[in-house]
Amino acid sequence: MIGCGAIAELGHLPGAQVADFVDMTVLVDPDIQRAREMCKKFGVAEARSSISEIGGLADMAIVAVPHKVHADVTIDLLERGLHVFIEKPLAVTADEGRRMLAAANAAGRVLGIAMARRFSAGNAYAKKVVESGIFGRPRSFRFEEGGVYSWPSRVPFLLEKDAGSGVLIGSGSHMFDLVLWIFGPVESVRCFTDSRTKQEVDALVELTMASGANGVIELSRSRQLSNSTSIVFDTAVLHVPTFGPGLCIESQDGTFSFIGEPRINDRKVIGDADMAKMMAAQLDDFAEAVALKREPMASAMSGIHCIELIEKCYENQQDMIFPWERPIAVVSQ
Amino acid sequence: MSNFSNLRAFITGGTGFIGGRLTQSLIKEHGAAVTVLAHRTSAGALRAARDGAELCFAPLTDESALVKATAGVDVIFHLAFGKYGDAAEQKTITIDGTRALVNAALKNKVKNFVYVSTCAVYYNKQTEATITENSPSGPWGWNYADEKYAAEEVVRAAIRDQGLPGTIIQVVGVYGPWGDTFTVGPLKQLSEGRVVLPNDGSAYANPTFVDDVVQALYLSLQNSAIGQTFIIRGPDQATRKQYYNAYEKMLGITALEFMPLEEIKRQSRMSWRGIAQLAPAGIRALSSSRDFKEAVRETPFAPMARKLYRSLQLKKTPSVAAAAPAKTAPQKPLIFPPAIVLEFGAAKLEYSPQKAIDILGYKPRYSLAEGMALTEEWAKWARLTQHPK
């Protein structure tokens, strides 16, 4: 485990404890005390303060470090012969992502991305429904993810400039990944943000898919959004949470509906909101991908496509209009 | 006076409501260089960074860090107070933190030190009064007000004894976009329960739209403000009933209840059964509050609170599904004012901003109707008007 911050403590390390195919052998953090604390908490034998000290202790690395160093850390690990499973986003820029993929290919190692939402039953179900055509073609969709930001980051990297710190690349990575995974390529993008600094807190993205479907992704770190997905098909409307249990299928005219749980015959898909199980599922998928020499659920290439889409958003961004923000008139005596 | 483009400002509380709006205005409207004190990566800190502020991570009580952070600064706006941790920690942050910041300001010879305090320091058990800056002030039993008063005393002593170019701005009833106490709080309370107002709701709300406070903060940088205290209030008076009615209108509901003060006191002495009835809705409402989550996270009760919240979540209708209506809708719980501010909140206290009008040229611009119209636009966007049916 490279980086012992909040996502390691709350996600990857509890996930590794219940994963079938992964044994956590060494924790690395520049703050060696923190690494030792996490070793004690999660029963891991070794703590190190630098990647250069992990030789022979691991054959796969989970990377959870600030976004701006994703590329350098990953390439370093790949060149040391480790397979790398990286916390989203793959990188801050698509160019970095391509360098990372090239490094993985050169080293003959697997590079995968943590996209836990693909393992959530509702999203997997939505993908199955789209692919099956059971309700006809998807005409439109809306993905929402947002809440008042309270993630207990240990390092304030999201406050740094040019560090991949905006909401588009943060939780947006999850939503863009789901959209590309479920609906395929994007034809065009319109993006509205509350800032041009790439430190946007709120964003709204309108997408036209190559399939002809239109969609909206709304993201926020300041407001509680519904954290759900709605897909309008020819004959029905599907609602699922972006994470956790539950689903609702409504008739087009809203006169009748079905409320229940998505069922998928896939052991990797997790039906509840248990983060450890979700993280374990994706770790096991990655370990299996390494063993079987196949692509992991979220490949490096899918991560590059995701970042390319985010870059398109930044290129095309327009200002959100907030009519309640008026200039403060100051006229002194 | 209206050119703030070269201003270098240090703001405590810049990740909060009033300070956040000030930060945004200084940077976006004037291109000022603003540093904001923060203690963690919060939504407010992210908004300040988005607006272009530099973030300084340090405890408010760390004088040496503050000396370093305020070197070369023209003005300090001090809005932060102890909000997290236990009562002793909160007191330390509010009072000792103010002292540390005052010392930093003196060492760095800042040109203005503006302390934002509260009109609650004037409460003197009166039931009806017009309050001016000459009215008696002091501690009266509410920690928040008492500690703000103590911090005022720290600033006043530094003005008097050490030549601090300080100004105290006392605010009241501040509402508007991102406002927790007087905007998000009432909207959530009205959504979740029946909000009880004392007597006939005719106590004064002294509503002040946040932009009027920010106007006053700019004006407090004048020489005529130094050494002075100013009460800041909006242009019109309104009763608490009128004030809450504005939020009811936003929500499209009627959820106010009126009770004599003594009856509220009687009912507030709730039986355990009553508390048990209130707890689920109250915790659900609070659990969506950033402040509550932050406060709980920093207490030993965090694991217990998480467990309780999860058990309540399980009892909720699945969020993605439209549930069938219950055969008999349960009565929403009564929400009483906190006991400590019950009588204070029932008093007809009129805070006069006349001194600020006369000396600073303060021109409050937002009537309750205008301020609430802007607040409503924000509340809709913030999804705060989608109350449970």
A67 inside domain: yes
Cβ pair A332:B215 closer than 8 A: no
Q: Is the pLDDT of residue A255 over 80?
A: yes
Contact residues, A window 193-212, toward B, CB-based 8 Å cutoff:
194-195, 197, 199-201
Q: What CATH number should be reported for the domain holding residue A158? A: 3.30.360.10
Q: Which class does domain B8-178+206-238+347-368 fall in?
A: alpha beta
Residues A95 and A154 in one domain: no
A284 inside domain: no
> In the 8-state DSSP scheme, what is residue B293?
H
For residues A246-266, average pLDDT: 91
* DSSP states along B34-81: EEEEESS--HHHHHHHHHT-EEEE--TT-HHHHHHHTTT-SEEEE---
Q: Who among B43, B57, B365 is closest to A156 (CB)?
A: B57
Q: Cα–Cα distance between B231 and B225 in angstroms, integer?
A: 12
Mutate to test the interface with B, among A221, A330, A333 (most CBs of B within 10 A): A330
A209 inside domain: yes
Domain that holds residue A12: 6-116
pLDDT at residue B324, as a whole number: 45
Interface check A327 vs B, CB under 8 A: yes
Q: Cα–Cα distance between B231 and B357 in angstroms, integer?
A: 10
Contact residues, A window 28-67, toward B, CB-based 8 Å cutoff:
none
Does the ipTM exceed 0.95?
no
What amino acid occupies position B379?
A: A
Residues A93 and A225 in one domain: no
pLDDT at residue B321, as a whole number: 39
Contacts of B24 in chain A (CB under 8 A): 325
Q: Which residue among A68, A95, A116 closes a domain?
A: A116
**Mean pLDDT per 10-residue interval, chain B, length 389 residues:** 85 98 97 95 95 95 97 97 92 97 98 98 91 96 96 98 98 97 96 94 96 98 97 97 97 95 84 53 57 51 53 42 50 89 92 98 97 98 79
Give A44→chain B minimum CA distance, Å: 23
Interface check A321 vs B, CB under 8 A: no
Contact residues, B window 222-251, toward A, CB-based 8 Å cutoff:
222, 224
Q: What burial letters (b/e) apply to B147-163, b meaning 16+ CB within 10 Å? A: bbbbbbbbbbebbeeee
Q: Which residue among A95, A116, A137 closes a domain?
A: A116
Interface check A163 vs B, CB under 8 A: no
Q: Is the pLDDT of residue A52 over 70?
A: yes
Cβ pair B46:A199 closer than 8 A: yes
The helix/strand count (H/E) of chain B reads as 16, 14
Instruction: Label the pairing between strands A214-220 and A138-146.
Output: parallel
Contact residues, B window 75-104, toward A, CB-based 8 Å cutoff:
none
- Binned at pLDDT 50, 70 and 90, residue A133 comes out as very high
Instruction: Label the pairing between strands B208-209 and A186-193.
Output: unpaired
Cβ pair A221:B43 closer than 8 A: yes
Strands (E), chain B: 8-12, 33-38, 54-57, 75-78, 112-118, 128-131, 166-171, 174-175, 194-198, 208-209, 229-232, 256-259, 334-335, 348-351
Contacts of B49 in chain A (CB under 8 A): 158-159, 161, 165, 199
Residue of A nearest to B381 (CA): A223
Residue of A nearest to B45 (CA): A159
Residues A105 and A152 in one domain: no
Cβ contact A135:A234 at 8 Å: yes
Contact residues, A window 230-269, toward B, CB-based 8 Å cutoff:
239-241, 245-248, 250, 257, 259
Give B81→chain A minimum CA distance, Å: 19
Q: Which residue among A116, A144, A165 closes a domain?
A: A116
Count the Cβ atoms, other than its own, within 10 Å of residue B368. Answer: 23
Cβ pair A222:B43 closer than 8 A: yes
3-state helix, strand, coil in chain A (%, to 5): 35, 25, 40
Least confident of A236-240, A271-275, B198-202, B349-353: A271-275
Cβ contact B35:B56 at 8 Å: yes
Q: Is the pLDDT of residue A333 over 90?
A: no
Residues A81 and A122 in one domain: no
pLDDT at residue B78, as a whole number: 98
Residues A177 and A257 in one domain: yes
Q: Which helix (H) or strand (E) holds B247?
A: helix B240-251
The mean of the pLDDT values for chain A is 95
Percentage of chain A surpassing pLDDT 90?
Answer: 88
Least confident of A52-61, A67-76, B182-191, B326-335: B326-335
Residues A86 and A142 in one domain: no
Residue of A nearest to B176 (CA): A324
The token pair that represents A66 in the structure block: 């600030």
Residues A128 and A197 in one domain: yes
Q: What CATH number should be reported for the domain holding residue A45? A: 3.40.50.720
Q: Cα–Cα distance between B313 and B293 in angstroms, integer?
A: 15
Residues A169 and A306 in one domain: yes
Interface check A182 vs B, CB under 8 A: no
Residue of A nearest to B385 (CA): A224
Cβ pair A201:B25 closer than 8 A: no
**A158, A159, A162, A164: CA torsion to nearest 10:** 10
Residues A151 and A250 in one domain: yes
∠ CA(B203), CA(B204), CA(B206), 5° rounding?
A: 160
Quick: pLDDT tens for A79-92: 999 999 999 999 99
A59 inside domain: yes
Residues A82 and A222 in one domain: no
Quick: pLDDT tens for A17-43: 999 999 999 999 999 999 999 999 999
Mutate to test the interface with A, among B7, B46, B217 (most CBs of A within 10 A): B46
Residues A24 and A160 in one domain: no
Contacts of B322 in chain A (CB under 8 A): 248, 250, 257, 259
Contact residues, B window 36-55, toward A, CB-based 8 Å cutoff:
38, 40-43, 45-47, 49-52, 55
pLDDT at residue A3, as a whole number: 98
For chain B, the C-alpha Rg in angstroms (whole number) is 21
What amino acid occupies position A313?
A: C
pLDDT at residue B276, as a whole number: 53
Contacts of B31 in chain A (CB under 8 A): none
Cβ pair A246:B320 closer than 8 A: yes
Residues A175 and A315 in one domain: yes
Q: Who among A148, A152, A246 is closest to B43 (CB)?
A: A148
Count the Cβ atoms, other than its own, within 10 Å of residue B342. Answer: 16
